[in-house]
Amino acid sequence: MVEWKKMLFCVICFVVVMLMPIEWIPLAGINIVQQRLLAIFVLAALLWVLEPIPVFATSLLIISLLLTLISNQGLAPAISAIQQQDPALLLHYKSIFAAFSSPIIILFLGGFALAVAATKYELDINLARVLLKPFGTQPKFVMLGLMLITAVFSMFMSNTATTVMMLAILAPVLSGLPDEDPGVRGLVLAVPVAANVGGIGTPIGTPPNAIALQYLVGEHSVSFGTWMAFAIPFVIVMLAFAWVLLQKLFPTQSAEVKVNIDSKFRRSPQAWIVYITFATTILLWLTTKLHGMNAYVVAILPLTVFTMTRIITKEDLKKFNWDVIWLVAGGIAIGAALENTGLASSLAHSVDYSVMTVFWIIVSLAILCWMMANFMSNTATANLLMPIAAAMATTLSASGQLEDVRLLLIIVAMSASMGMVLPVSTPPNALAYASGKISNGDMAKVGIIVSSLGILILLVVAKLML
């Protein structure tokens, strides 16, 4: 009954935003499509947070509402009002369905292929044995090792690809713990947290960093070493805090974590194909600048090799987490709709920065960036807000109010990476949720606490440096 009450509340909020007079919405120049999308966005946010229905079902509902209410092939009575106002406002239905074939979806499928093949041929057990052995068997140190390895890899390769690899390594570790042990949830959550935070450490670790660098040119350019000198201390503090927090929230009931130390690498031809393909994929992810293929293109290669060599069969394909594919597709669809309709831009420009001091401009941009990144791609969020931040920084620098424009842009870029509250917030979050070991509530609890501290630290640093 409680779930029905939550659902009813969500629906009422949706209807209220959908039907309220458009002039009541405090966004300049908003149109009917943007109003309907805002209603869908509010519904999605409430459903993802309150979870009266499964999160993947929310994603399918989002796509259905986008198609029926604001697409050019939507329900006739629903779109007639839009056609009378301006038919060009309608989204093309193919652009919404494209969420199911996004490069990110292919990245997930490639990741699932690596995970299934690694488990089938015990590569994950052996990797866990090799990489985690130096950290001993105490759960807290195993978690520390897991987070450090994940964070370091995420600094130099896609954090999604890193998460795929680390969850594969974690699987045999979890098999040695009872499912009801809270420590299992802590270990699983440690991977996406470390992946999200670790990517901040280098200019190439996450797309928002690279986007910021596009605006940091000439006398304001930032070298690789300078970025790391600023970001690595932040990453270390965040990882240390997250490590302690996860142990407090999810204390393990086990005295030690044992991995099957006696396991040996298999020597069969198919096992060698798995080893070589796994290593080649990781190497290609690490050396994108050398060969030109991005993480999404590389991800389809293991899927192709494993299916061609029958390492992954039809039965193995059924083991893929298809509910996560739907979950991610919904996040992609609403993120693209926010961008294509101009609603995201309207939200970004809804704050009047001209009446604020430099510090409060940084505060508002950081918080707005964090909030938007929780519900849409942090890359899309950075693309939307970075031009605003760059323009503000240039204006403030010219007037003598801001000594170094790099501060503002780097803070905004890092704030985008703090969007880690929901399964749809980042691919690492979605992959961890796909393990089935954690709930939406577990992720939200950790995400809110960790990201809030991260934003607070960034703002304190900004205040001290102004």
Q: What pLDDT sits at residue 241?
A: 96
Does the pTM exceed 0.75?
no
The C-alpha angle 280, 278, 153, rounded to 5 degrees, equals: 80
Contact 405, 137 (CB under 8 A): no
Q: What pLDDT sits at residue 1?
A: 46
Q: What pLDDT sits at residue 260?
A: 54
Q: What pLDDT sits at residue 351?
A: 65
Q: What pLDDT sits at residue 353?
A: 66
Phi, psi of 287, rounded to the nearest 5 degrees: -120, 40
pLDDT along the chain (466 residues), means of 10: 81 93 84 92 82 84 94 89 86 91 81 81 74 82 90 79 82 80 91 93 79 76 80 94 95 75 74 90 79 83 93 87 79 81 76 77 90 80 77 77 83 91 86 87 93 95 87
